[in-house]
Amino acid sequence: MSTIRVTGLHVRHRRTVALDSVDLDFGPGVHGLLGPNGAGKTSLIRVLATVAAPSGGRVELLGDDVSEHRERAAVRRRLGYLPQEFGYYPGFTVREFVAYVAWLKEMPVAEVPAAVERAVTRVGLADRVDAKVKTLSGGMVRRVGIAQAIVNEPDVLLLDEPTAGLDPEQRVEFRELLRELGGSSTVIVSTHLVEDVMAACTEVTLLESGRVAYRGTPESLSALGDAADGVGDNPIERGYTAALRAHRAFGVDASALEGTSR
């Protein structure tokens, strides 16, 4: 069952094509979104988060066409989104900021305090809940961002470079949280860290120059690297480079080479 479906998705930024006729669907689970800088990852996440409109194509989230304002507003209440850079009022405490986002998502007022405590605890900031966000380290601020994204127990969770600034122990804990969330939600994680994809994701999509260069499981991507003599320090890095090379050389979804294309 698909909770997200994009068909013929096209995104243009002035003269630059960010996404070129992309067809994708996602269901429950944790989906890794990989690709070099400029591949279109952030553009895709922003369109799915309904903060940017596509230049063309169709986007369906949770069964609704988000080109319609009424459906878009309803879907936003069921979304969680962490951009690469998120804004906050410096004077807010962690509790106040996460509660403010819960209010924006139109959560019932009576449910907000418990939801805030739950979200902050899940990201390991229970002991800093009343600290001002401006006093926190970069890694802690990133965890506040994750907390605000999950406060409404979203059906669709979109995370753009969520582990930036997290130390190795925090990244391990975050992967565990991702696996937990993916049991009931559709989670899409855009990242440059292929080891995070291997550890936490059930599926991986690789974008290159605005097109799909690979779609499959982390295991199948790793196998592609061994078969195609990819470059890297571990199997999934070798698969990543092999898929990019195949796409650049032949202009095809490299998963077709392994018979895993959808």
- Tens of pLDDT, residues 136-149: 999 999 999 999 99
Report the percentage of the chain scoring pLDDT > 90.
70
Q: How confident is the model at residue 192 (pLDDT cuts 50, 70, 90)?
A: confident
Higher pLDDT, 135 or 69: 135
Per-state percent for the chain, helix, strand, coil, to nearest 5:
45, 25, 35
Distance CA 105, CA 118 (A): 16
Higher pLDDT, 256 or 32: 32
pLDDT value, residue 251: 79
Q: How confident is the model at residue 261 (pLDDT cuts 50, 70, 90)?
A: very low
pLDDT-wise least confident of 76-90, 95-109, 215-229: 215-229
189, pLDDT greater than 90 = yes
The alpha carbon of residue 205 and the mean position of all alpha carbons in its chain are separated, in whole angstroms, by 11
pLDDT value, residue 176: 93
210, pLDDT greater than 90 = yes
Distance CA 129, CA 142 (A): 14
Phi, psi of 35, deg, nearest 5? 155, 155
Name, in order, each residue with C-beta under 8 angstroms of 64's C-beta and a sequence gap of 6 or more: 71, 72, 74, 75
Q: How confident is the model at residue 165 (pLDDT cuts 50, 70, 90)?
A: confident
Residue 237's CB is within 10 A of a number of other CB atoms, namely: 18
- What are the structural domains of the chain? 28-52+63-78+157-262 (3.40.50.300), 86-153 (no CATH)
Q: 99: burial class by Cβ within 10 Å (0-12, 13-18, 19+)?
A: buried
Q: How confident is the model at residue 257 (pLDDT cuts 50, 70, 90)?
A: low
Distance CA 256, CA 18 (A): 23
CA angle 160, 50, 102 (to 5 degrees): 75
Per the DSSP assignment, residues forming a β-bridge with 5 are 25, 60
260, pLDDT greater than 90 = no
For residues 160-165, give the mean pLDDT.
90
For residues 41-55, give the mean pLDDT.
95
Quick check: 229 and 242 in contact, CB under 8 A? Answer: yes
Q: How confident is the model at residue 228 (pLDDT cuts 50, 70, 90)?
A: low
pLDDT value, residue 256: 67
pLDDT value, residue 214: 94
Distance CA 239, CA 232 (A): 8
